Structure 1
Amino acid sequence: MILEVVDIHIKADQHAAFESAVHHGVQTVIAHAKGYRHYQLQRGIESANRYVLLIWWTTLENHTVDFRQSPAFADWRAIVGPFFAQPPAVEHFNPLASPHASSEPSANLPHA
């Protein structure tokens, strides 16, 4: 499993609309992508206009090829892109260990 970490800075005073757009975009676009597992959205405390979007994929290629190179990516960006104050930074991670008893790293994480 691969974790996509997206560091997003949004325009001021757009919190509720952005959060709603992310949920809508995940439900209507990303959730149908090959290899999508689940997501979480975190809002910054010290920087209220900063969010971290965490998306779990089965493989790296499910995100970088199957989703990013599909028409669905443009649909996703049309939903959330208008809120961006700057282009988001995206990185991928391999989960190595978990303090949870489950063998699946994200099994005990809350689903958004």
Structure 2
Amino acid sequence: MTDEVLEHALLHVVPGQEAAFEEAFDEARTIISATPGFGGLSVSRCVERPSTYLLLVRWDNLEAHTEGFRGSPGYERWRAMLHHFYEPFPVVEHYREVSVTPGPPTTT
């Protein structure tokens, strides 16, 4: 069994601040990506609720996020850049994969 975890957070951005949030996040991603144990991330914008974003971050293990990133000076910069956009503050949860079904191969 792998220790890899997937961090999940629904980010409720203050309406009208979406463009500013996306710009700040684009800059902030360099901070998180430099953290040891970081395995990649995606941010998706909700179609039905355009002020809501889904953040998914892969970590080598839970501690890489909860102790490594959150305990780093980079996290303080991340927080200053992004946390003021959220209302309410997001709940962050961690998941371990139990099943994967790949989609069909694509042709070019």
Q: TM-score, normalised by structure 2?
A: 0.86
Q: 1:88 aligns with which of 87, 90, 108?
A: 90
Alignment partner, residue 23 of structure 2: 20
Between the aligned partners of 2:24 and 2:8, the Cα distance in structure 1 is: 18
Q: CA deviation at 1:100?
A: 2.5
Question: Moved runs in structure 1, 4+ residues, more than 4 A?
Answer: none
Equivalent-residue separation in structure 2 for 1:30 and 1:8 (angstroms): 16
User: Which residue is 1:109 aligned to?
Assistant: none
| Counterpart in the other structure of 1:59 | 61
- 1:42 aligns with 44
Any gaps of 5 or more consecutive residues in structure 2?
104-108
Inter-partner Cα distance in structure 2 for 1:24 and 1:79: 9
Q: Distance in 1 between matches of 2:24 and 2:38?
A: 18
The alignment-based identity, stated in percent, is 33
**C-alpha separation between the residues in 2 aligned to 1:52 and 1:44?**
7
State the secondary structure of the residue aligned to 2:49. coil
In 2: Cα distance, 1:36 partner to 1:59 partner: 9
Alignment RMSD, CA only?
1.3
In the comparison of the two structures, how many residue pairs are matched?
A: 100
Q: Which stretches in structure 1 are left out of the alignment for 5+ residues?
A: 102-112
1:4 alignment partner in structure 2: 7
Deviation at 1:47, TM superposition (A): 1.4
Deviation string for 1:11-50 (max 9, x for gaps)? 11111211121121012x1011010011110111221111
SS at match of 2:55: strand
